Chains A and B, each alone.
Chain A
């Protein structure tokens, strides 16, 4: 496969920045945890029982009404590098990418639906959409769940809802999360106040890359913490409401920066752009930081000759496993830094 082929092969929908509110929201995700009634949870299941879970799912797919086009992938047979790329694309968890028996997944061609089999729970369905599309993602997730449930007996109790390995997921089994880019809130030192306010609302916030509040690339993931009690719709409504406020705050912060610190902001953005355009070696940490500035520049209309999706794409493409996969050979970190710089220069010019 050519490099372009491989790159296109690596990109998927959420990276194309085609969804609503793309200036702040990168992606929306719904995850549903389910277990089969008659089998112990994965951590307590025997080899045979774990295999049975996969067999059951497989026989479900063989029926005629597999409208979603889900395909079963045996993760034991997939090369480590491919699995790591899947992690970078948020299709599977890092734990699920680790070697182990009876780990599998279901995936649609466009990768908007991915279902981990035998992770912490027997079944974890995930719907990943571009931009702010929580309701749409839940709608599809609900349908996929109905489809799975039409043939599989899910562990469910009237009182506690869907029964999960960890009681923190019981009830709806649903984790709704939104990935947001908040550079202006960070630049204007408001980010910690905002994050504190969010966590007081019963939502969880984490920097997606890097640790703690020092999020790499100013990317944060905000999700519901409570899964038992409110309905799926209520959880989504609540999260959606908070996200809308965050979008407003970030946009206001951008406006304020443009008004009060226009020269400083523009200077910063162009410097970052310059480095990405001309550097010959760059670490992923630095690249993430600079790409965040460039994305801000694109969203503010300061930079006009770069496509809006470049940030989402490069975030995944410049990760060590993706780079390794693109070049097809083992790279040390110095070689990776070189390849990364080359790739960024090329993608930025391509538009």
Chain B
């Protein structure tokens, strides 16, 4: 198969990208693959970033990322934040995330990365009163919902109605 980019060389790199929930297959030669922005790792940036991208790239299990593009990359490249559109490879290159949702979208790897950087992945410090409150309330709502479902299953409808009202109240609290 020929490279889709240059139509000249043999395609050696197979990429799967998911854009807006649509799967896209791309076949590239080594050279064109290297020119693709999203596949360039840790080439530039200041030293502190290099340190970080160094950490990020070591996750890919290779010392010379540019010269050893292979199928192992496929899974990583396709991952993209649904909220801001940042893909993980781009993050690896820049060391900067695109939005707060990225922390959820890339959860598994961010979790490991944070542990590598800080030796820790659990915040114990300050909690903002407002947004922190919302987080606490959301958690509470989730627990009440589970209880309510439980009550419905046990046909304890009076209890379920009480729980429903409590949930409603909390939801209104968040909406304010």
Contact = CB atoms under 8 A, between A and B. Distances in A.
Given A40-B99, A154-B128, A167 B117 contact: yes
B86 A44 contact: yes
B95 interface: yes
B100 A228 contact: no
B8 interface: no
A223 interface: no
Given A158-B123, A172-B125, A41 B131 contact: no
A171 B123 contact: yes
A231 B131 contact: no
Interface string A156-197: 111111110111101110100000000000000000000000
Given A163-B100, A226-B120, A171 B130 contact: no
Interface in B78-97: 83-86, 94-97
B52 to A, nearest CB: 6
Interface of A is mostly: loop
Contacts of B110: 160, 167
- Residue of B103, B117, B123 with most chain A CB atoms under a 10 A cut-off: B123
B130 A167 contact: no
- Residue of A149, A167, A230 with most chain B CB atoms under a 10 A cut-off: A167
A229 B119 contact: yes
Contacts of B114: 160, 167, 170, 228
Contact of B84 (A44, A155, A227): A44
A202 B120 CA distance: 13
- Residue of A39, A142, A158 with most chain B CB atoms under a 10 A cut-off: A158
Given A150-B130, A228-B118, A172 B100 contact: no
A162 B121 CA distance: 12
Interface residues of A, number: 40
Contacts of A43: 94, 96, 98
B125 to A, nearest CB: 4
Nearest to A39: B99
B103 A157 contact: yes
A37 B131 contact: yes
B124 A229 contact: yes
Contacts of A10: none
B79 to A, nearest CB: 16
B122 interface: yes
Contacts of B124: 229-231
A70 B100 CA distance: 27
A153 B128 CA distance: 9
Given A40-B84, A157-B135, 17 more contacts: A41-B97, A41-B98, A149-B131, A156-B128, A156-B132, A157-B100, A160-B110, A162-B126, A162-B128, A163-B103, A166-B96, A168-B52, A168-B117, A170-B103, A226-B120, A229-B122, A231-B124
B126 A172 contact: yes
8 A-B pairs with the lowest CB-CB distances in the bound complex, closest first: A229-B120, A161-B123, A155-B100, A44-B98, A228-B118, A231-B125, A40-B99, A172-B125
A145 B113 CA distance: 27
B126 A232 contact: yes
29 contacts: A40-B98, A41-B99, A41-B100, A44-B85, A146-B129, A149-B129, A150-B130, A155-B131, A157-B104, A158-B123, A158-B127, A159-B122, A159-B123, A161-B125, A162-B128, A167-B117, A168-B48, A170-B103, A170-B118, A170-B123, A172-B123, A226-B119, A227-B118, A228-B114, A228-B123, A230-B120, A231-B125, A232-B125, A232-B126
